[in-house]
Amino acid sequence: MKTVLVFRTSVLGKGHIRTLRPLLNQLIDRNGYWNFDLEDCDNILRVETQNVQAHTISTLLKKNGFSCEELH
C-alpha cells in the first residue's frame, strides 16, 4: 500500500530541485513518485512511496542544506 507524505521545505527553485533529483530518485522506489509544488507558500514536497519513512526523506534534505518538516 502506498503512503503519501507531505513536507514543508526551503527548496526555492529549479536549481535546488536539480540538486535533489538524483538523490530523491535513488531513495524513492520504482513504484513511488515525488514532486515539489513551489507555487505553494510552504514549497511543498509530496512523496508517494511504499517503503520510505518520512524521517529518511527529511534527513536527506537536511543533509543537503534544506529545511524539511513533515506536515500531518
The CATH number of residue 5's host domain is 3.30.70.100
CA angle 39-44-50, nearest 5°? Answer: 140
Tell me if 52 sits within 8 A of 27, measured CB to CB.
yes
Predicted model pTM: 0.93
Show the domain range for 17. 1-69
Q: Please give the tally of structural domains in the chain.
A: 1
Q: What are 14-71's pLDDT values in tens digits? A: 999 999 999 999 999 788 999 999 999 999 999 999 889 999 999 999 999 999 999 9
**Nearest Cα residue to 68 out of 4, 17, 22, 11:** 11
Extended beta strands in 1-72, E state:
3-9, 33-37, 44-49, 68-71
**Nearest Cα residue to 61 out of 26, 20, 21:** 20
